[in-house]
Amino acid sequence: MRRPILAGNWKMNTCRESARALASALAEQVPASRDDVEVIVCPPAVYLETVLAAASGSGLQVGGQNSSDQEPGAFTGETACEMLTDLGCSSVIIGHSERRQFYGECDSVVNSKTKKALASGLKAIVCVGELLDQREAGKTKAVLESQMTGSLADLSVEDMANVVIAYEPVWAIGTGKVASNEQAEEAHACLRTWLEGRFNSDVAAATRILYGGSVKPDNAAGLLSQPNVDGALVGGASLKPELFIPIIDAGAATVA
């Protein structure tokens, strides 16, 4: 049984006070004893410490939105994985489509960041997903396989214990256009088959594959109940407890 993960990607949103309030509201829903689902929030780096303090003593995990593939040193503006673990972060999002699109992160950069995150003891949430024109051209499977091949290059079976995949069709991110349950399931099944071919059936069976792209309370139950969908990476709806909590509940309902 794969334990669902509900992860909130706050992107470049919140201020110190709203970050603290949001984290406190979520921490109340996720006591340390909660073991049906994993809930992770990924605030802006400058608010990590505020959010970690609000989550302290609860089961709410905190992660970064991005991290460097380098050791600490002369890299202006970057955040080292060592700094994320030093603060108490459990995980980091790597290769989000906004990083790929606006900051030129290609699969080989995603790969070196993933390796560095794993070597530092972080769980890597590695994002893949096709553009609209790639889907329309019937290239979704080829795009996903090529992103997986590049992003997970050189990783071992052991490494995969700390890798989570997020399937985020780029056309569904922040657009309100959600993938249908069938489109999500088809892509997730394709990713799982790829994992089996590249690693083995145990890795394929154990790896959590999250769906991301306009997940909202009204579509969460349908998406999360697909057999190969093991959780969600949520942007906009993760900024409001009244939207994110029902999504957490929908994830929990799949294991009840």
Q: Which residues bind ligand PGA (CB under 6 A)?
A: 9, 168, 173-174, 212-215, 233-237
**Shortest Cβ distance from residue 98 to ligand PGA (Å)?**
7
Task: Tell me the C-alpha to C-alpha distance, in Å, between residue 42 and each of 8, 47, 82, 122, 188.
Answer: 6, 10, 16, 13, 23
82 alpha carbon, distance to own chain's centre: 19
Q: Please say which residue, 9 or 226, places its beta carbon nearer to ligand PGA.
A: 9
- Please tell me the distance from the alpha carbon of residue 247 to that of residue 250, in angstroms, as a whole number: 5
**Shortest Cβ distance from residue 226 to ligand PGA (Å)?**
17
Task: Tell me the C-alpha to C-alpha distance, in Å, between residue 185 and each of 150, 151, 227.
Answer: 22, 21, 7
**Shortest Cβ distance from residue 175 to ligand PGA (Å)?**
7
**Shortest Cβ distance from residue 40 to ligand PGA (Å)?**
12
Report the DSSP beta bridge partners of residue 5.
Answer: 38, 231
Q: Please say which residue, 64 or 235, places its beta carbon nearer to ligand PGA.
A: 235
Q: Please say which residue, 23 or 239, places its beta carbon nearer to ligand PGA.
A: 239
- By beta-carbon distance, which residue lies closest to ligand PGA? 235
Question: Which token pair is 128?
Answer: 């893949």
Amino acid at 173: I
Phi/psi at 28 (5° precision): -60, -30
Residue 168 region, left (φ>0) first, then alpha (ψ -120 to 50), else beta?
beta
Catalytic sites, residue numbers: 96, 168
Q: Please say which residue, 63 or 235, places its beta carbon nearer to ligand PGA.
A: 235
